[in-house]
Amino acid sequence: MQTGTFRGFDVEIEDPGIVIIRFNQPEKLNGLNQDVKRELVETIAQVQMDDHARVVVFTGSGRGFCAGDDIFGKPMDESIVKQVPEIPPGHTNAIGTYEGLRHLSQPVNTAIRKLDKITIAAINGVAIQTGLSLALACDFRIGSTEARMGSATLRFGLLPDEGGQYLLVQLMGVAKAMDFMMRKRIVTGAEAMDLGLLHELVEPDQLWTKTMDLARELAEGPQVSMRLLKQSIYNAAEMTWAHSMDEIAAKTAISDHHPDVREGVGAFRDKRRPNFNKWIDERA
């Protein structure tokens, strides 16, 4: 997959297969526009299809994780590499807004949720509206004590149109999500932890260390089974018991016959640490 600087973010890879996507517009608190969102979708597609990419970490530069959409619309640096060609941004009329949301904005969080690889949001600062929903779409969230998180779309008379309402209801339940969004709450990292929006809260100088420790732990796990289990967990949230049993049986038919299982069982028998993912190394 491609690494380097793209429109709105940088991409790098650290061993073993940890993809770091860092928003790189601190002067805008890493606000996003349609160009950046389309680049993100392309990068996520590359991650999905690259077996060597195991875990994805999203984070921001400066004081912000991502403070929502870039409402000022400052033109982007045209010298930066473009992964996808230009298309109209939509939003010029009602149907254009509908199409722009469905085909340009909403696909980012959909792509993150559908990604088989594990995702982590390292929330270093403000995560508002688009930034909040992107963080909530990730599988794990580690927040700095300096983080601030909120939907706050109603402050502008807008709706959480990129899945924020769905993700908040899943994590908090209807009553707390109603309070959170209707009252336009922007909470501290500690409050976000209490509300169940974070998995871990750390001091700012520990955020990256803790994030990379988690990323390495996950990257060293049995990737095939983890990718199947990730989707099964999300599916289970919306399935009946009978459907979820059939779904996990179908996935187990894949995982039970994978070399990682033989390695895991052998390591347990030999009382040693398993060395998973040899199939990935063999493709290097």
Same domain flag for 124 and 200: yes
Domain final position from 219, 242, 259: 219
Residue-wise pLDDT for 94-118, tens only, equals: 999 999 999 999 999 999 999 999 9
Same domain flag for 232 and 269: yes
Same domain flag for 227 and 196: no
Helices (H) and strands (E) in the chain, counts: 12, 11
Which pLDDT value is given to residue 152? 85
**Does the structure show a pLDDT above 70 at 209?**
yes
Rounded Cα–Cα distance for residues 57 and 66 (Å):
14
Whether the Cβ atoms of residue 54 and residue 120 lie closer than 8 Å to each other: no
Rounded Cα–Cα distance for residues 152 and 15 (Å):
37
What's the whole-number mean pLDDT along residues 40-69? 96
Same domain flag for 34 and 169: yes
**Does the structure show a pLDDT above 90 at 23?**
yes
Same domain flag for 57 and 96: yes
Alpha helix (H) ranges present in the chain?
Answer: 34-49, 94-100, 106-114, 130-137, 164-172, 174-182, 189-194, 207-219, 223-236, 241-255, 259-270, 278-281
**Does the structure show a pLDDT above 70 at 74?**
no
If pLDDT is split at 50, 70 and 90, which confidence band does 90 have?
confident
Question: pTM for this structure?
Answer: 0.95
Which pLDDT value is given to residue 89? 84
Whether the Cβ atoms of residue 77 and residue 35 lie closer than 8 Å to each other: no
What is the b/e burial string over 65-77, where b = at least 16 CB atoms within 10 angstroms of the residue's CB? bbbbbbeeeeeee
Number of domains in the chain: 2
Residue-wise pLDDT for 222-266, tens only, equals: 999 999 999 999 999 999 999 999 999 999 999 999 999 999 999
**Residue 75 is part of which domain span?**
4-219
Query: Which is more confidently placed, 274 or 74?
Result: 274
Same domain flag for 59 and 189: yes
